[in-house]
Amino acid sequence: MKVRDSGMPEESVWAGFFTPESILESFGLYGETKDVVEFGCGYGTFTLPTARLIGGIVFTFDVEPDMVASVCEKSGREGIWNVVAEQRDFDAEGTGLPNDFAEVVLLFNILHHHEPVALMAEAFRVLRPGGRAAVIHWNYDETTPRGPSMDIRPRPEQCITWGEQAGFIFFPHERYDFRPYHYGLLFRKPL
C-alpha cells in the first residue's frame, strides 16, 4: 500500500530539497558501513549517494514499480553495482529480509505512514544489535514547499516516541537540523 499523502513532485524539484551526501555523513555513513536498508527509494535521491558512500550493499524497497525501475536504470548507467532494488509492499509484507541483517536503516520522509510504529518495528527487526535507524522528515511547519498535510506530519517528539515504542534507544544529541526543510533523528538498536 502506498504511504498516505506521499505524492512526489518532479524529480528536479524533489532533488532541490536535500543535500543527500551531507545528510548521510551526519548519520555516520561512510566506506566502512556495510548493508543498508532503505524504506522507499523514490527517485534514488538517497539510494545512489548511499551506495557511493558505503562499502556494503543498499537494499531498497518501494511500492511503485516505476520508482524501482528508475533506480535500477540509474544505478546501471552510473556503474553502481551495490544496489538491490525491489518493488515490494513493505507495509503489508515487511522487507522479507532476515532478522539482525543490516547495519543501518533509512526511514526518510516516510513516518507519516498510517502505522509508523509498525514501520519502525520492521526497521528494528532487520537491524543488527547496535544498528542505527536514520530518520528524516519535513519540519512541522506549514510554510515548507512540500511534505504531507499538517494533520499527519509528525513532529520530532512523535517520531522519538514511536522509535522507543519499537524498541530503539534515542539520545538527544543525535537530533539534527537539516535546514531549511527537514529534521533528522538517529535511533540505535540496543546491543
According to DSSP, the β-strands at 83-87 and 169-178 are: unpaired
C-alpha cell at 111: 513516518
Q: What is the mean pLDDT, run by run of 10 residues, along the chain of 191 residues? A: 58 76 95 95 95 97 95 97 96 94 97 92 98 97 90 96 98 96 97 95
CB-CB contact of 183 with 18 (8 Å): no
**Amino acid identity, position 79:** G
> How many Å separate Cα 87 from the centre of its chain?
15
Q: What is the pTM of this model?
A: 0.94
Per-residue confidence (pLDDT) for residue 121, from 0 to 100: 97
Please give the domain boundaries of the chain with CATH numbers for all domains. 11-188 (3.40.50.150)
Asked if 57 and 84 count as a contact pair (C-beta separation under 8 A), the reply is yes
